[in-house]
Amino acid sequence: RPAAAVHRPRWRLALRAPKLVYNRTFFSDTLHLNLEYPAFKGVSLYYTLDEAASPTTQSAAFRDAIVLDQTAHVRAFAYKPGWLPSPVVDAVLVKKQLTPAQARLEKLPSSKYPAQGAASLIDGKIAALQGADTWLGFEGEHLSATLDFGKNITLRQLYVHCLENNVAWIFKPVRILVFTSQDGVKFQRQGSREYPANTAMGEPKTHLLSYAPDRPVDARYVRIQVESLLKNPGWHPGKGQKCWIFVDEIVVE
C-alpha cells in the first residue's frame, strides 16, 4: 500500500521593511518624503498619516513623493500576496512654526559636549551620530532649559530630539516635565511624560520624544526638564557609574 502523504507546512517569508527617505526632521515650509524599496515584482507600499491607525492594505498606496505641510507621524510597510508583510517603519516629522527668542540652561552641559550652549537647542540643527557638534551632553545630571518666545504663544505639543548609545553610556531620557510662565518668574507645572528605559543593551539610535498637555496652554516661557537615569542600570557593564543624556533640539508647537 502506498505510503501516507507527508503534509509539510507552507512557510511564508517576510518582506524587508521599506526605507523612509527625507532630508530633515524639522521643517518650516513643506517637506518631501519618499519610500524606497529594492526592485521586486509585485510589492506594494502602503502608508498612513493617521495617528490613530496603523497602515493596512486599505491605506494609501505609495506612488510618488509625499508632500507634508504640517507635522505628521508617517508609518509605512511593504506587502506582496503570498508573503508576510514587512515590519512597519515610522517617523515623526515636525513643522517648526515657533522659534524662541532665547533659550537658557539651568546648568551648563559637560565641557566634553558643549555644542553652542543653550542656543543649540533652538537652532534647528540635529544629528544622527554621537560625534556631531550639535549635542549637549549631561553626565549624571538632568537637563533643564527655559525657552523665552518674547510673546505669548500657545503650547500644544513639544518635541525633544535625543541620542541613545548604551555602549557609550548614553541613555534615552526617562521623563520630560513641562512648566509654563507668563513672567519668567512664577512657573506652573503642566504635566510630564515617562519613557521606558532599556532592559538590555540597545542599538545606537536617535529618538524624538514628544509631550502634549491635556489642553493648549498660553504662555511666554516654557521650561522643559529632561530627566536622566543618572546612573547606568544594573544590567550594564558599567553599572552604578554616571550615565549621559544627549539632546540637540527642543521644538514647541
Query: Nearest Cα to 221, choosing from 122, 158, 149, 113?
Result: 149
Sequence length of the chain is 253
DSSP code of 64?
S
Contacts (Cβ under 8 Å, ≥6 apart) of 146: 103, 104, 106, 184, 221, 222, 223, 224
Handedness of CA 99, 100, 106, 112 (dihedral sign): positive
pLDDT for position 189: 98
Handedness of CA 160, 164, 170, 176 (dihedral sign): positive
The amino acid sitting at 7 is H
The pLDDT tens digits for 230-240 are 999 999 999 99
Q: How many whole angstroms separate alpha carbon 102 and alpha carbon 37?
A: 42
Q: How would you classify the pairing of strands 158-164 and 72-79?
A: unpaired
Alpha carbon 175 to its chain centroid, in Å, reads 14
Alpha helices in 57-183 (DSSP H): none
Contacts (Cβ under 8 Å, ≥6 apart) of 129: none
**1 pLDDT more than 90:** no
Beta pairing partners, 221: 148, 181
137: cell is 551632553
The pLDDT tens digits for 130-181 are 988 999 999 999 999 999 999 999 999 999 999 999 999 999 999 999 999 9
The pLDDT tens digits for 33-65 are 999 999 889 999 999 998 878 999 999 999 999
The arithmetic mean of pLDDT across residues 92-121, rounded, is 95
pLDDT for position 10: 60
The pLDDT tens digits for 178-230 are 999 999 999 999 999 999 999 999 999 999 999 999 999 999 999 999 999 99
pLDDT for position 193: 97
The pLDDT tens digits for 74-102 are 999 999 999 999 999 999 999 998 999 99
